[in-house]
Amino acid sequence: MSHPKTKIDLKNNEVVFWLDSKIYSLESIYNTAYVFLDRAYVFLDGDPEKEIEVHLKGKEELDGKKLEALQGEFLNELLNFLLRTKIAKRNKKIREYIIASALVSGLPNSFVSPNEDKETKAGWQDDPLGIAVPWEEKNQKPTGKKR
Amino acid sequence: MKGKTAAIKFNKKIYPAKEIQKAIADFKQLASFSLSENKSYRIVKISDVMAQEDKLIGNEFSNYALSLIKH
C-alpha cells in the first residue's frame, strides 16, 4: 500500500502532497480542487505526466491534525470524483437512450409521421379495414333491378 | 504588500495562459500585475496592493485562476 508523499508545513499553515498522474488524472485533480476552493487555498505544481504537487493552505489557522484531515478529505473527494467519472462513462449509452426516449415522447403531434398520426387518431368505433361489416353486406351481388 | 512585490509561479502545464490573463484582468483593480514567463512557468508579479488584506491577494488570485480552468 503506498500513501502519497506528504509534507506538513505548520509555519505556512499548509499541507503539500504529491499524486501519481497514472492514478489521478489532472482533470480529476482540477475538479477536486474546485470543491476545496472555499475552504483552502489550492495551488498545483509538478509534472502532469508524472507527479502532481498539491498545496492546500488553510483559510483559517489549522494545526497538524487538521491539515492532515484536510488532505484526507481531498483524497476522499478525489476518489469520489474518479468513481463518478467511471460510472458516468459506463452509463453514457443508457443515459443517451433515456434522454432520446424522453425527447421523442415530448414531441408535438405535428412531428409524428403521417401514418402514426392516423393510427393515433383512430377511435375504438372506427373500422378502417371493414372488419365489422357483415359478410352478406360485403358479398351481396348487385341485382341490377330497379324498384 | 504595499511597496513590496510578490511573485507567483504558475506551471505552464497546469495553468493555461488564457485563465491567468483573465484572472489578471479581473483583479487589476486590487493591485498591479505583470506577467512574464520562462521555459516552464508563467510568473505573475503582484505589487501596489489596494486592499487591506494584502497578504491574501496572492492566494486568492491563485484560487481564482484555478477556478477559471474549464473542467
The answer, yes or no, to whether residue A125 has pLDDT greater than 90, is: no
Partner A contacted by B21 (CB < 8 A):
no
Q: Give the number of beta-carbon pairs within 8 Å between A and B.
A: 37
- Report H helices in chain A: 26-36, 64-90, 92-105, 114-121, 135-139
What percent of chain A has a predicted confidence (pLDDT) above 90?
50
Range from A56-65, A91-100, B8-17 carrying the lowest mean pLDDT: A91-100
A72-98 b/e with 16+ CB inside 10 Å = b? ebbbebbeebbeeeeeeeeeeeeeeee
| Domain ranges, ordered by start, for chain A | 6-93
Position A121 scores a pLDDT of: 62
Partner B contacted by A88 (CB < 8 A):
no
- Output the average pLDDT for chain A: 85
- At A45 the three-state DSSP class reads strand
Q: Measured on CA atoms in the order A43, A46, A48, A52, is the torsion positive or negative?
A: negative
Q: Which of B14, B59, B67 lies closest to A44 in CB terms?
A: B14
Closest CA–CA distance from residue A44 to any residue of chain B (Å):
7
Partner B contacted by A78 (CB < 8 A):
no
- B59 to A47: CB separation less than 8 angstroms, yes or no: no
Topology (CATH level 3) of domain A6-93: Alpha-Beta Plaits (3.30.70)
Partner A contacted by B5 (CB < 8 A):
no
Partner A contacted by B35 (CB < 8 A):
no
CA distance A147 to A137: 19
Position A129 scores a pLDDT of: 80
Partner B contacted by A34 (CB < 8 A):
yes
Closest CA–CA distance from residue A117 to any residue of chain B (Å):
44
Q: Which of B9, B11, B66 lies closest to A42 in CB terms?
A: B66
Position A143 scores a pLDDT of: 66
Position A59 scores a pLDDT of: 93
What is the grid cell recorded at B36? 512574464
pLDDT tens digits along A3-58? 678 999 999 999 999 999 999 999 999 999 999 999 999 999 999 999 999 999 99
| Domain ranges, ordered by start, for chain B | 5-68
**How many Å is the Cα radius of gyration of chain B?**
11
B46, B71, B48: which is closest to B60 by C-alpha? B46
CA distance B61 to A12: 17
Average pLDDT rounded to a whole number, residues A121-136: 78
Bridge partners (DSSP) listed for residue A51: A20, A47
Position B11 scores a pLDDT of: 96
Strands A14-20 and A6-9: what pairing?
Answer: antiparallel
- A45 to B67: CB separation less than 8 angstroms, yes or no: no
Average pLDDT rounded to a whole number, residues A83-100: 88
CA distance A10 to B36: 31
pLDDT band at A1 (very low <50, low <70, confident <90, very high): very low
Burial of B38: CB neighbours in 10 Å, binned 0-12, 13-18, 19+: exposed
A46-66 b/e with 16+ CB inside 10 Å = b? beeeebbbbbbbbeeebeeee
DSSP string across B32-49: EEEEEE-SSEEEEEEES-
Partner A contacted by B59 (CB < 8 A):
yes
